[in-house]
Structures are given as C-alpha cells and as structure tokens.
A and B are shown apart, each in its own frame.
Chain A
C-alpha cells in the first residue's frame, strides 16, 4: 500500500485531502518533524490560511530546509493552494515574509476588477511539456496566485483577471493552485498519476 505523508502547516483542514487519498487506496500519516519531511516517500503540503502563519510554522519547526531540499531534488511532493505559494520568494499577502524560494516568483493578489477570492471551477490548460497535468476544469479557492510559469518549471495556466498559474510541475514535484482533492474526477486522476510516480530516496 502506498503511503502519503501530510505536512500540517497550521489549522489547515486535512479531512478532504485524507478522504481523497483514502479513495485512491493510499494510507495517510502526519509529518511532525524535519526528519519526517525528509524521509517521507510522498509528501503533501496542504495549505489553507495565511502565508505568514504557514511560513512561521515551517521555520519554527525547522521544516523549511527539509522541504526546500526535497523540492529542489524533485522528490514526490504535492503542494496544494497555499502549499504551492509557499514555494515562492514572497507573497503580497504577507509583505516582508520570505518564502521557500524554490520557485523564483512572487505571489500576488488578483487584479481589482475580478471577484476575490476566486471561488469555483476554472479551465486548466497544461503546457505542452507537462507530464502530469491534463486539460479540464478544477476547483479553485484563492485570493493570491503566481502569474507566470518560471524557467525550469512546467505546469498549467488558467484565466481569471489575466493569466494565473494553475499548477507547477518539475520532476515528481507538483504544486496545484486549485484543490485536486475537491476537483471531482479531474482531481482524482491527477492525484492518482502523482501517486504512481517513482519514489526516490532522500
């Protein structure tokens, strides 16, 4: 049975993510320490809440470098919503707070003419070199986002008051701005593909 380790970054609700992996026949456990983050075969960083609160949890528990290390090595890691944004340099949501910096971009709020948060199903368009992502509708609930897929990453985009990054992908690292666990059959297929990626030792 495949094991998925969930990293709790605060008061994020994990029930939906756990239920989604249950449906895929994977076992879930919680990561507590940096060692857990390093050793996990597959790590999920579900993110709900504020950038600053989540980063301070990562820094205080000394999880940041372990997480950065596995993302830089391309080991199986799935970031969801804020869990993707934490990989960036910083966020407009929490000025002055440094992110993990694996993704050389800053996270910004939506342009003022659109309703915020973006709440609902938006069309996801994968880049041609994406291996994991397919075209379809996914469920978003976010006020902040990356605007462009940086070099050395691939992924997918959506349109909402301009282009936003729907997902980033590199090796076995997948960061979704949308919630795959709430994205019906589309999300389930994506999580299944990510689960089937080869596991690499730390």
Chain B
C-alpha cells in the first residue's frame, strides 16, 4: 500500500532557512542544504521549500538553493513562493524542483493552474492554500504570505483548483501555523472529503500524535518545520512513533 508521507518544510529567504509564527517574526534557522541532507538521511519522504524572499536578490539566492538541493537530494523536492507564471515555474523546474506550489498567484488568476498542469503535468502542480477560520464559520483563503484575507472560501477554492488541474493540495492552517498546538483537523477532514487529490497537512504540528491525527482524518502526508528545526525529534523518531501507532510509513 501507499505509505503516509513525512515532509519537512524549509522556509528560505536569501539562501537561509527562516521560521516565524503565523508567517511573522522570521528568525534564522540554518543552512538549507545541510538541513535537507540530514532530513533525507533520517528518513524524510519528500521536502518542501517555500521561498519567502522579499527582494529580487533574495529570490535569486533561493534559486541557487534549489539547484544545490537538487545536486544533493535523492527525494522529491516541491518549491513554492512567488510563482506567478509558467515561466517562473519553468525556472524552478530547470533549477531542480520536481513540483511547483502556487498560492496567491492562483487566487488572483486561477487559469494559472490550468496552464501549469498543461505544460508540466498535474503531478507537478501543487495548490498551496493558507486557510484561516472565518467568523461566520468555515475558512477563508489568505494570500500574500498570510497577510491578506480574501473573499474566497477554502474548501470551494480547493475543489475549483482540482478542476483546473492541481494534482496535490498543500493545506496550511493560518490559525495554527507555528503555534505547535496541532493541525486544524476539521479543515483537513473537510478538504480531504471535498477532493480526490492528496492533501498535505500543514500548520501546527509539534508531535507524532498530531501527525497521526491528521492522517486519520484523511491527509495523505504531514508537513512540519519547527519540530525538526529545533531538533525536538528527528524524522526517524517521528516515523517510529507513527509506525507504533499503526500508520504505514516507509522504512
């Protein structure tokens, strides 16, 4: 059977790993290639790199990071952050990304998803959604790195993205991101029901229990950052714990 995936995430800026809470207060968390190589050696199934660069110089440095990661990594690499066109995506793919994640640009212009899946294939096209609980219930789609709330509803947006050609959903709970209080399980359950695509749980994980919960409500993969950056646990330790709770993971 297909195993559940454990995906460490590196937020990078200007060639360095950074980590913040609710997308704010970024702090330096190390060298991306060193960390990624360690994650792979410890059993990470895949790696997500989100480029949170604010300037052109930082973005060029991020491209060098993707190339350096590709040279080293023998596992899949998804790259997102600032992708606004098929040209942007091609640049990342040529540098060595296997999948490209789009977020704000697809909200602004949903047709981008169709263009990406036509040019590079569905399995290459990841829709990244930052979902924040709305006062009226459900979740709103946040854009611009979580700073701007849109009129879009997260679940219907994910469904629309599937129709346009997205092949995977990277679903981050804006409310839980960086809080270490566990994933938003209701969000994951509703999203997994709404589409036939694999859903990657993101935002809030600080323990294997959180990850097991996300997988039990329908997520295909669990993404985490701070639990690994802060050396709380290694990928191997997390996988051992998941296996003990009856979840099939790659050995």
- Chain A residues in the interface with B (C-beta under 8 A): 11, 13, 15-16, 19-20, 22-23, 48-50, 112, 115-123, 137, 139-143, 159-160, 179, 181-185, 187-188
Contacts and interface: CB of A to CB of B under 8 A. Distances in A.
A98 to B, nearest CB: 21
Nearest to B7: A120
Given A13-B94, A13-B124, A143-B123, A120 B74 contact: no
A115 B5 contact: no
Interface of B: 1-5, 40, 45-46, 70-71, 74-77, 90, 93-99, 118-124, 167-168, 196-198, 220-221, 250-251
A23 B74 CA distance: 10
Contacts, number: 108
A11 B89 CA distance: 11
Contacts of A142: 123
Interface-central residue, A50, A121, A139, A159, by most chain B CB under 10 Å: A121
B201 to A, nearest CB: 14
A182 B75 contact: yes
Contacts of A116: 196-197
A19 B220 contact: no
Nearest to B3: A121
Contact of A121 (B122, B196, B197, B250): B250
B196 A182 contact: no
Given A16-B98, A49-B121, A139-B45, 10 more contacts: A11-B90, A20-B74, A115-B196, A119-B221, A121-B45, A123-B3, A137-B250, A143-B122, A182-B98, A183-B74
A70 to B, nearest CB: 25
Contacts of A121: 2-3, 5, 45, 250
